[in-house]
Structure 1
């Protein structure tokens, strides 16, 4: 409920700015055109994953993954890291946060392991692993346009070195923090029977069809909405009681909407000019670090997408845009609102009864975020 309250306050503040003329109507329309597909995608993909989880899809995936780990916790953890990385690169960070988190939690519990290192791996890689391709993150798509529409291969060539560093550093930190539990062994439990094979097959088929459609070039909200409607219809026939208002992440939608509107209002009164002075100029390693760190601070202060939009005018070259992406993609690991993926991840954990205090999350982020951003930016400067 606090999330919705904060979002409502920000929405009211943004609405006041629009009514008083501080935020021009043209800017408001442009903002709406940019963000409504994101919000609709989040809404639809959350419904899909909730229904797929109710059908037992994630439990079955967890059972198979546990067998591949062959009783070694560290092997299982690396498999989870691989899944999170591939999912983020090709399906985007929000998809990873929503789709993979239930798999990870069920997997750890099914194996008798602490779910926290696995859950942290998912959310950190959902953010830091989103540097390689344009489809990995909405900020990348925006930057690709600002770069002059390089091909995905050209984009990947620029981002490859920092992308590798941004994946390796968080994994190293997690292994150090949780090395005792990750060096343990586990026994694979017995398989759990699926309650409704029809629901399971429909859920598996819909998710399997959705994955390639999300990278097909279609606007991602279209296949996500279609998948939600199909699964909703199946559940309406087979298990109507699962369909409830609580499936919709309305609190997160309100918060995200408020953040977008409020930051756009600040941008209208000169936020971009101030940030340009802070972020500096030039393409030396120090200049790139300055921009990347500014992006990291901005993302943790106001969310990564508004931070990118505010700082984009200051990143006037492909190399500087790449540094900005490092800051706003790999840097938002400290505050809960730094990225929508983090909020989605936490919602999934809460719904499954896994607790992680925001205070502990932020303390860990204060260590790993600057380290990741600095080393990734240096890799960019060295290999660009």
Structure 2
């Protein structure tokens, strides 16, 4: 088993081990670790169950059917497929949340590429970049937004009003980078591709069960059911259905142990590092200026820190040093931690979920290109969104 571990497995185990060492030595007090565990337990439950749901829905060929329909709607136009892909990824992220986009939409995009006979990487990158950069509009779009909305005291519509134009700027910047970095290279001289025929699943019962389950999953999130509750319910339904009709699909390999270990280890390690001086360093880097300089510093520090330690603990750590009442500075931090983590694979949970789905489909992106294009897009997108945020002050 040890020999089968790849870099992500070793990274997850290493971080978990470091976190447990910090706990055992008292660097992280047991009471604080208990508080952290209570805070992240719903996230861990969601990750566990939603990945099982997505894996079984993919085996039921739910995503293959959606992919074929999307490619047919594009009518063989490569630019039209690009526009549909961007719109679908953006809307899914804004209305639901970025982790749902990474889990449910990635298999759709990869299946689109397979059905249309085009390279899968542009569609895969569309999913993950927009899962992050389209998560600014609503509190539900990102867990960090929920924390920020509570901190600034904005209702849903008030939050959306403040972030609407920065979100639009982020979308336009991301779409431009996607076309320049990935999509234009697959463009044929006639700007077309061959639309696939209608796809028929092998087991209609499992397909319909998966379709209804995913539909209720989306509906549950829209009406406000806790994401861990609706994802567990969906996973249980599909596990039962496959136990009856395809028992071989139910196995221990469905458990995403890497992500569970990584998330738990990350929070413990970040807590320990904060006690060793990270909090003081962030206070110096971010400062207390509520003006232009303070907003830019918050966004830059948030983006860099998110790529280094993951965007959720990065936001929690940086939020603590932003003075109360500095709304624009906090929103700048939010832009940095949401739209900035495009460079390193552990920068956001959505990217880790996306990697799991890509790995399951046999797609392994080249990391050199991933890092270069991610750094470019993060810089352009964060700059565009922060600029528009600041322009709204006049």
TM over 0.5, yes or no?
A: yes
CA distance in 1, matches of 2:187, 2:32: 50
Match of 1:164 in 2: 168
The CA distance in 2 between the partners of 1:234 and 1:283, in whole Å, is 54
Residue 320 of structure 2 aligns to a residue whose secondary structure is helix
Partner of 2:234: 227
Q: What CA deviation, in whole Å up to 9, does each residue of 1:219-270 have, x standing for no partner?
A: 2100100100011001000100011122221112111211111001112333
1:200 corresponding residue in structure 2: 207
List alignment gaps of at least 5 residues for structure 1. Answer: none
Q: Find the aligned partners of 2:186 and 2:308 in 1 and give their Cα distance.
A: 33
* 1:46 matched to 2:51: yes
Bigger shift: residues 284-293 or 118-127 = 284-293
Contact kept, 8 Å, 2:28 with 2:268, in 1: the verdict is no
The answer to whether structure 1 residue 240 and structure 2 residue 247 are counterparts is yes
> Per the alignment, in what secondary structure is the counterpart of residue 70 of structure 2?
helix
Matched, 1:328 2:337: yes
| Structure 1 residue ranges, 4+ long, deviating more than 3 angstroms after superposition | none
2:63–2:107 contact (8 Å) kept in structure 1: yes
Relative to 1, partners in 2 of residues 1:353 and 1:17: Cα closer, same or farther, differing over 3 Å? closer
Cα pair 2:22 2:268 within 8 Å, conserved: no
Q: Give RMSD over aligned pairs.
A: 1.3
Are 2:13 and 1:8 aligned?
Answer: yes
Match of 2:368 among 345, 353, 359: 359
Q: Which runs of 5+ in 2 are unaligned?
A: none
Between 165-174 and 14-23, report the one with greater CA deviation: 14-23
Trace 1:1-384 onto structure 2 (pairs within 5 A).
1=5, 2-148=7-153, 150-177=154-181, 178-182=183-187, 184-316=191-323, 317-384=326-393
Deviation at 1:15, TM superposition (A): 2.0
Count of residue pairs brought into register by the alignment: 383
- TM-score using structure 2 length: 0.94
Deviates more, 1:174-183 or 1:82-91: 174-183
Deviation digits for residues 252-299 of structure 1, max 9, x if unmatched?
Answer: 211121111100111233321211111122222222111100001100
What is the CA distance between 1:180 and its match in structure 2?
4.2
Q: Is the 8 A contact 2:74 2:84 kept in 1?
A: yes
Partner Cα separation in structure 2 for residue 15 and residue 57 of structure 1: 40
Q: Secondary structure of the equivalent of 2:194?
A: coil
Asked if structure 2 preserves the Cα contact closer than 8 Å seen for 1:175 and 1:182, the reply is: no
Q: Deviations over 1:72-95 (max 9, x none)?
A: 011111111111111111211111
1:175 Cα offset (Å): 1.1
Instruction: Note the alpha carbon deviations across 1:167-220, whole angstroms, 9 max, x for none.
Output: 111110111233242462012122232111111111111111110101322221
Distance 2:184 2:22 in 1: 50
Distance in 2 between residues matched to 1:70 and 1:281, nearest whole Å? 53
Looking at structure 1, the residues matched to 255 and 69 of structure 2 have their Cα atoms a distance apart, in angstroms, of 29
**Once the 2 structures are TM-superposed, how far is the Cα of residue 315 of structure 1 from its aligned partner?**
2.3
Q: In the aligned structure 1, how far is the partner of 2:371 from the partner of 2:61?
A: 32
In 2, the alpha carbon distance for the partners of 1:251 and 1:78 equals: 34
SS at match of 1:146: helix
